[in-house]
């Protein structure tokens, strides 16, 4: 269970460079891919754990989960056909600390994971990070022409509470478009 106690500054500082385990099994419907874990997430040991991150509420609002999951329920996503990974595995205070080279290297590692686990869709949560990691400077939100083997790529807005371009309702709408696409693939 996720502790409700906020991490101390010392705990956050100590989390720099730590990793959070992937939620990854073969043949998922969707592999959600964040940019990298934040320090709060690394301390808690669960993806998208920071209060204010809108990943879990957005998944529910978009119809991916039957109820509002909490970060400590992340492994329950596998039963629904979903998983979580990151482009870069090391935790930082914010994604701006990642170098272009690190994002590109992370993109290469991500492609290897996708080839090995073969999700139907890789959903990248962050347009700017996708553009850098995959060398697609003009990419936009939504379905991409690029595939990795049979895996389709879909770019979604970063669910961080700092992403003011996408308030919760708009975020849910964009994520719902992916869910509709996945539902069509399943038919």
Instruction: Report, as residue numbers or ranges, the catalytic residues.
Output: 36, 47
Query: Considering only CA atoms, which of 120, 57, 36 is closest in space to residue 83?
Result: 120
DSSP secondary structure letter of residue 87: S
Question: Per residue in 123-150, is it b (16+ CB within 10 Å) or e — as a string?
Answer: bbbbbebbbbbbebeebeeeebeeebee
Q: Are 149 and 114 in contact (CB under 8 A)?
A: yes
């Amino acid at each position: 269970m996720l502790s409700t106690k906020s991490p101390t500054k010392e705990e956050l500082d100590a989390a720099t460079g730590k990793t959070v385990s992937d939620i990854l099994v073969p043949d998922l419907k969707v592999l959600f891919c964040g940019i990298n874990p934040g320090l709060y997430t690394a301390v808690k040991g669960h993806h998208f754990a920071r209060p204010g991150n809108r990943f879990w509420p957005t998944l529910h609002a978009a119809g991916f989960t039957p109820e509002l999951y909490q970060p400590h329920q992340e492994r329950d996503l596998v039963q629904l056909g979903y998983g979580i990974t990151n482009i870069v595995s090391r935790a930082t205070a914010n994604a701006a600390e990642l170098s272009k080279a690190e994002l590109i290297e992370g993109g290469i590692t991500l492609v290897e994971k996708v080839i090995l686990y073969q999700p139907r869709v890789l959903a990248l949560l962050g347009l700017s990070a996708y553009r850098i990691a995959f060398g697609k400077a003009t990419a936009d939100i939504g379905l991409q022409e690029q595939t990795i083997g049979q895996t389709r790529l879909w770019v979604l807005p970063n669910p961080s509470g700092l992403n003011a371009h996408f308030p919760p309702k708009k975020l849910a709408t964009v994520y719902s478009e992916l869910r509709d696409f996945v539902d069509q693939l399943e038919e």
